[in-house]
Chains A and B, each alone.
Chain A
Amino acid sequence: MDLNRRDFLKVIGLGAAGSALPGCGGETAKLIPAVLPDEEIVPGVANWYASVCRECEAGCGIIVRVMEGRAKKIEGNPDHPLNRGKLCARGQASLQGLYNPDRIRGPLQRDGERGEGRFKPIPWEDAMSRWVAALQKHPGGAVLISRPVPGTLAGLFSTFMKEISGTVLFYEPSAERPLRAANRKSFGIDFLPDYDLANTTYLLSFGAPFLSHWLSPVHFGIAYGEMRQGRPAVRGRFVQVEPRLSMTAASADRWVPIRPGTEGLLAVAIGRLILKEGRAKLSREDRCRFEKFYDPFSIDRIANETGVAEEEIVRLAREFYTAASPLAIGGGIASEQTNGTDTLVAINALNLLVGNINQPGGIHFFQPSGFPASSAEVVGEQALLDLKNRTQKPSRALLMLYQSNPLYTLPPSTQFRQVFEEADFIVSFSPFLDESTAMADLILPDHFFLESWGDHVTEGIAPAVGLAQPVVIPRYDTRPVGDLFLSAANRFGGGLKERLSWTDFRTMVREQWQDFFALRQPAQPFDAAWVEALQRGGWWKPEGKPVPISQRGAPTAPEPARFEGSEKEFPFHFYPFPSMGLHQGEGANRPWLQELPDPLTTVVWGSWVEINPKTAQEYGLAERDLVRVISPYGVIEAPVIFFPGNPPDLISMPLGQGHTFYGRYARERGVNPLTLLAPLIDPPSGGLATGATRVRIERTGKRGRPVLVDQTGQGAKRHTEEGEA
Chain B
Amino acid sequence: MVEYRDQNAPPGGPYQWGMVIDLDRCTGCEACMVACKAENNVRIAGEDEAAKGRAVSWIRIERYWEGEYPNAQLKFMPVLCQHCGNAPCEPVCPVYASYHTPDGLNAQVYNRCVGVRYCGNNCPYTVRYFNWFEPHWDEPLNEQLNPDVTVRSVGVMEKCTFCVQRIRAGQQTAQKEGRRVKDGEVTPACVQSCPTEALVFGDRNDPESRVSKLAESDRGFGLLEELGTKPAITYLKRIK
Contact = CB atoms under 8 A, between A and B. Distances in A.
Interface of A: 44, 67, 70-76, 83, 85-89, 92-93, 95-96, 98-101, 211-212, 217-218, 221-222, 224-225, 228-229, 235, 245, 247-248, 250-251, 253, 255, 257, 475, 580-581, 591-597, 599-600, 602, 604-606, 612-614, 644-648, 664, 669, 705, 707, 709-712, 716, 719, 722-723
Interface string B25-55: 1111111011101110000111100111101
A86 B34 contact: no
Interface string B199-240: 000000000000000000000000000000000000000011
A85 B44 CA distance: 26
A44, A89, A245 — most chain B CB neighbours (10 Å)? A89
B29 A217 contact: yes
Contact of A88 (B29, B63, B67, B192): B29
Nearest to A258: B70
Nearest to B45: A595
Contact of B29 (A96, A211, A605, A723): A211
A710 to B, nearest CB: 7
B53 A612 contact: no
**Interface of B, helix, strand, loop or mixed by DSSP:** loop
A709 B61 CA distance: 10
Interface string B126-149: 100000000000111101111100
Contact of B141 (A96, A710, A716): A96
A596 B33 contact: yes
Contacts of A593: 34
Contact of A95 (B51, B55, B144): B144
A101 B69 contact: no
A594 B195 CA distance: 21
Contacts of B147: 44, 67, 72
Contacts of B144: 70-73, 95-96, 98-99
B57 interface: yes
6 contacts: A92-B193, A96-B144, A595-B46, A599-B30, A645-B74, A719-B53
A255 B70 CA distance: 9
B171 to A, nearest CB: 18
B192 A75 contact: yes
A597 B35 CA distance: 14
Nearest to B71: A255
A644 B60 contact: no
B30 A75 contact: no
Contact of B67 (A222, A257, A644): A644
Given A70-B143, A86-B193, A604-B55, A101 B138 contact: yes
B55 A595 contact: yes
Given A228-B25, A250-B28, A475-B140, A89 B126 contact: no
B75 interface: yes
B55 A723 contact: no
A602 B126 CA distance: 16
Given A70-B144, A221-B29, A229-B25, A644 B72 contact: yes
B215 to A, nearest CB: 14
A293 B79 CA distance: 51
B27 A211 contact: yes
Contacts of A75: 35, 192-193
A722 B55 contact: no
B194 interface: yes
B65 interface: yes
Contacts of A87: 31, 35, 193, 195
